[in-house]
Amino acid sequence: MKINIYDEIIGYEQCTVEEMSGLAPVHLSLEERVPGVPGKAFDLKAWHREWRKLRQPADDREPALMKVEAIDEFQAAIPWEQLDRAVFLYEQDGRPIAKGFPIRLYVPDGSSECLNVKSIVTIRFMYAERAAKATYGFKNIVTTDELKLKK
C-alpha cells in the first residue's frame, strides 16, 4: 500500500511505509512519547527533513502546516509548531499495525488526542497556508441525493 505525499516545494510522490521508515533517521519506541502505547515509530520532522533534503537540498524552509487524510476520510490539519514530538507508528509485535494500518500519526504535544489519525493515506506539507489551531474531522460529503433535495 502506497502513501501519497505532497509537499508544496517538491510536488507529489507515492511511498510505501517501508520506504518511509527506511529513510527516517530517528526511530523510537512509541512508549517513549506516548506512555502505555507500545510499537515502533519514527519521528515525523526528522523524516520530513531527510526526505526533503534528498529532493531539494538547496531549500530548507519549514512547512507551516501538515494535513493528513485517512482511508475513512477522517482528516486533520496541524500547525507545524504542534508537531515537534509527532511520530508515525508503523509496526507492533513485529507486524504492520492492525489498528491504523498502514501508518498512524501520534501528536504528543498536540491540542487533542483526536489528532492521532489512524490509517493515513495522504500527507500534505503546506508552506503558504497557515492555521492558528489544529482542526480535525470527517470530510463533508454531499451526496447527489442531498444536492437534489437542496434545489
Ligand X SMILES: Nc1nc2c(c(=O)[nH]1)N[C@H]1C(S)=C(S)[C@@H](COP(=O)(O)O)O[C@H]1N2
**Binding site residues, ligand X, CB under 6 A:** 70, 72, 74, 113-114, 116-119
Q: Which is nearer to ligand X, 59 or 72 (CB)?
A: 72
119 interface partner picked from ligand X, Mo ion, none, CB below 5 to 8 A per type: ligand X
> Among 39, 104, 37, which Cα is nearest to 72's?
104
Q: Which is nearer to ligand X, 74 or 127 (CB)?
A: 74
> Among 134, 68, 135, 77, which Cα is nearest to 105's?
68
Least CB distance to Mo ion at residue 74 (A): 10
111 interface partner picked from Mo ion, ligand X, none, CB below 5 to 8 A per type: none
Q: Which is nearer to Mo ion, 6 or 74 (CB)?
A: 74
Rounded distance, CA 78 to CA 61, Å? 17
Least CB distance to Mo ion at residue 128 (A): 29
**Cβ atoms 34, 108 nearer than 8 A:** yes
Rounded distance, CA 37 to CA 60, Å? 33
